[in-house]
Chains A and B, each alone.
Chain A
Amino acid sequence: MPEFSTEPFFEIARRLEVRGETGWLAVLSPATDSTAALDELQTELQSVLQKLTRVIQLEASTFEKLRDTLHQPDDDAVILSGGAGLTPEKWRTLDIMRSALERKGPVILWLAPDDIANLANLAPNIRSLIGGSIFVAGPDGGIMTETERQYRLKQLSEHFGLTGEEVVRKAEARELPHDPEFVEWLVLLDRGDLV
């Protein structure tokens, strides 16, 4: 099955920045630590875009409340969080009210990976705005130069007293803890498939 591109939050924020700070995109949350990742995305967007970034829970919002929240103000960045899973009815309602969701500032849909099917099937108007801008949330590391990557790998190796090969072997044997440092290590070794 084809996959969406995986991008670190910094890259996602950079994409929005070059667009002129408008536009829509969707980010598929990681299966674990979704709340922490959402906080991280919010921080990264605020840092790169240099503007307030709000998180709005979609499940709890009525038409009027959502419309008003998005337009007061309408030029900051907002992350619309799908939460644990929106009902089909809520998806249809969101799709119908697409015009009311349009605003000056960027809109980021934060969705669970399974929700992308609902976006495609139940909300074609919103999907059309997003186009192909659907990214899987990935760990940071993408903007490092090769020198920086080697330096970070050395740091990790010295800190944990392990070589890269040992980390890969442990991950393959499912003996590696799910700590962020090990995730980063595997990604830097281009073995994100083991995460």
Chain B
Amino acid sequence: MEYKITLRKQFRALRFLIVGSILFSIAIYTFFSKVGYDPDIALFFFIYYLAELVPTLFVHIEYYLINKNDLFTLNSIQRTFSFDDRDAISFDQIEIIVLVLSPVMYRDSNLRFFPFDSYHYAVIIMKDGKRFVITNLMTFRIDLALKDVSGVQIERRRRFIASPSLYRFWSAVWN
């Protein structure tokens, strides 16, 4: 199986934000039609929307920059994977795969609370210390794609926002 970023996958990742924004706009219009326009409540809506929009776009752009031109190929029969048409690497050379998920994805819930809840990524850590990062812009459900990777330990970690840079930041702060 080959995985890479496509426009369709990007829209799939942003679907919650796009559909949510349309429904939210309709809800705001209906609300103000009923009670009349109030600039303070409009400011409240604006701040709320920014709080949803900014982290989602941040994670999306970050994921895009990480895997922009990457091609991840997984061969479950030969038990190998490759990045960007380089030599195939055996699954045996993988030390561990760390799968970073949002809390709702961590407990396999289908319900999403925030637009950034569906964003997740995996770090393939090799025995020689090399690291490869796969984000869900390459495949919408990495956990399902990784089912083809047999005989490798997969560690699931829970983060409120599954962002590699925020993860590094918080790790540096707490350690």
The yes or no verdict on A and B being binding partners is: no
